[in-house]
Structure formats: structure tokens, C-alpha cells
Amino acid sequence: MTETQKSLALHFGLLALLFALQFILPAYHHGNLSRIMVLATYAIGYNLLFGYTGLLSLGHAMFFAAGMYGMGLMIRHLGFTPAPALLIGVLAGLALSAAVGALALRTTGVAFMIVTLMFAQAGYLIILYFGEWTRGDEGFVIQQVQRSLWGIDLSDPTARYFAAWMLFSACLALSLWLIRHPFGRTLIAIRENESRAQMLGYDVFRHKLGAVVLSGTISAAAGAAYALLFGYAGASFATVQYSILPLLWVLLGGAGTLIGPFLGTLFTFYLIDIASAFTTAYMLVVGIVLVALTLFARQGIGGEIRARLWNWLP
């Protein structure tokens, strides 16, 4: 098999496995995996910016929240059905990422991190300020009757699982296509040596802006889906914590690998779940394990697999 065929077999094999697990998982893990797939989609968006373009953002929660509130507010206050509300949530993330990217990309390095963090904090404060509509820290519930898409009740566990699977599958397939496209190859070239890419005649700013917009749009789609599938939108999803989490998932799973965001999200989710069953100081346990991983598996789980076993892993 060629490297391309191996890559396609691995990633579509993962999707086939996730599809099959729907029929055999017990209810608890069935619900967990639905949530993990949506959050892994968020991590895929972050990985596109950080793992493949080399831009470290500390404000990605604003895109996740833009999709969540763009969708949720349309349903709650304007009576939209889920389909147009989801579209508005995704468009809100696209517009916000284009605006933020155009401004933040005028900086580089640490300054870029700080600027994205400032924008995210501004977004969080806006949610709190307009608490009359957003319900502030308390957030709001999207009622079960409002979560029906084309006659399918998305509060039903089976429908929710398949919706999460379809979103994750679409974004994983998009990423797989993108990194083999000249645009994706250029992003990798910018990550490796931006000056050389610019010297070769590539429009670095345009490519980086495209990466920010694609990353923000995928993250917004994940945020909109999360609110619709799990019936809640809250300001906690716009905090710094939700900007740090995708960075953590990508680093642990393997930055710059397509399978890394899913592996990192799955590992972190169950690490917290298992540790919390044994002690109230579960974050200490999580911290120790994460430090050990960063010391002994610096490339993350996916990165180590690529380095030690499958060097063709994209």
C-alpha cells in the first residue's frame, strides 16, 4: 500500500470503528463518546492553526462560544429552527475569526498569543454584560422540543451520537484533504520556516488568515453542535479554560497529526473521569500524568506513533 492509501485506511477505519461502537457501547460510554467527538472537532480546528500553521492562540474559546451563542440565541429569542440557527452559528464564527485574524495577525509570537487572549476575554465580558439575553454565568437550556432537526430528535442518545459522528467525520475528512492540498502544504511550509516561504513568493499573511478563518469556523461548528446536542449554552465555554483545553488536547494527542486531536481529547476526558472516581484531588493526578507525558512523549501520542511506528502518519 502507498502512504496515501495507508493514511486513508487508518483515518476512515477510525470513523468506521466509531460508527460501529454506537451499537455495542453501554449507555454511559455511549454518551461520553458523543461528547468527545464534538470536543475533538473543536480540537481539530485548533490543530489546523497550531499544529499545521504554527500559530499559538490563547483565545479559541471565543470561536467556540460564537458558534454556541450564535446558534442558541437564534433558537431562544427568535424562534429559529435548528438548521438555520446552526448555519448562523457557523457564520458567526467565520465572521469573528476573519475580523480577529485580520487584526491579530499584525502581530507575531507572544504578542499574537496575548492579542487572541484579549479578544477572547472581551468576548467573555460581552456575554456577561448582555446577561439579559445570554443569562450570563448561569447560561440557558435549549429545550428538548427545540432540538429537533428535520424531524429527528437530537436529544435522543442514538440521534445525538450519529450527529456528533457526522460532524467529526466531516471535519476529519476536510482536514485530511486540506493538508494534501497546496494550501495545506503551504501552511506547513510557513510553520517550518516562514521567512523562506515568504522568500519563495507565497502570500504568508493571506495563508495565515485563511488558517485562522478555517480554524475558527470549525471551532464554531463544534460550539454550535455542542449546544444543540447537549441542550446548554453558558459563559463558562467562553473562559480561558476553554482556550487552554484544545491546546492541551492537541499537545497530548500530537500537534500536526490528524489523529492527534481525537486521541488527546479521548485520553484527557477519561483521565479526568477515572481520576475523579478515586479522589477529590483528581486534578493533581491529572497534572502528574500530563507532566509525565510531556517529559517522556514530547511529540504527543500521535507524534510518538508517527516517530516510532508509522512515519507516513499525516
Residue 97 has pLDDT above 90, yes or no: yes
CB–CB of 261/40 below 8 Å?
A: yes
Cell output for 178 = 486540506
> Between 201 and 220, whose confidence is greater?
220
Mean pLDDT of 261-278: 89
pLDDT value, residue 312? 67
Cell output for 244 = 487552554
Distance (Å, rounded) from C-alpha 154 to C-alpha 159? 5
pLDDT value, residue 87? 94
Which among 30, 14, 35 has a CA at the least distance from the CA of 232?
A: 35
121 half-sphere exposure, CB direction, 13 A CA radius: 7
Q: Taking CA 217 as the corner, what is the angle to CA 215 and CA 223, rounded to the nearest 5 degrees?
A: 105
Residue 214 has pLDDT above 90, yes or no: yes
Lowest mean pLDDT among 131-145, 173-187, 238-252: 131-145
> Between 313 and 15, whose confidence is greater?
15
Which among 23, 64, 47, 15 has a CA at the least distance from the CA of 233?
A: 64
Residue written as cell 463558562?
236
Residue 209 has pLDDT above 80, yes or no: yes
Segments making up each domain of the chain, as ranges: 3-308
> Between 310 and 268, whose confidence is greater?
268
> Between 131 and 221, whose confidence is greater?
221
Give me the chain's average pLDDT, please. Answer: 89
For the chain, where are the alpha helices, taking DSSP H only? 3-21, 27-50, 61-78, 82-104, 109-129, 131-134, 157-180, 182-192, 194-199, 204-230, 241-253, 260-278, 282-296, 300-308
Name the pLDDT band for 302 (thresholds 50, 70, 90).
confident
Residue 255 has pLDDT above 80, yes or no: yes
Distance (Å, rounded) from C-alpha 310 to C-alpha 2? 12
pLDDT value, residue 155? 85
How large a percentage of the chain has pLDDT more than 70?
A: 99
Q: Which residues contact 268 (CB under 8 A, 6 or more apart)?
A: 245, 248, 249, 252, 286
Distance (Å, rounded) from C-alpha 59 to C-alpha 216? 10
Mean pLDDT of 82-101: 94
Distance (Å, rounded) from C-alpha 304 to C-alpha 253? 9
Core vs surface per residue 150-161: b (16+ CB within 10 A) or e: eeeebbeeebbb
Residue 266 has pLDDT above 80, yes or no: yes
pLDDT value, residue 272? 87
First-last CA distance in the chain: 15
Residue 244 has pLDDT above 70, yes or no: yes
Domain at 3-308, CATH from 1.10.10, 1.10.3470, 1.20.120, 1.10.760: 1.10.3470
Cell output for 229 = 446536542
How many residues are there in the chain?
Answer: 314
> Between 112 and 9, whose confidence is greater?
112
User: pLDDT tens, 27-76?
Assistant: 888 999 999 999 999 999 999 999 899 999 999 999 999 999 999 999 98
Distance (Å, rounded) from C-alpha 39 to C-alpha 153? 21
**152 bridge partner residues:** 149
Q: Which residues contact 35 (CB under 8 A, 6 or more apart)?
A: 164, 226, 230, 269
pLDDT value, residue 94? 96
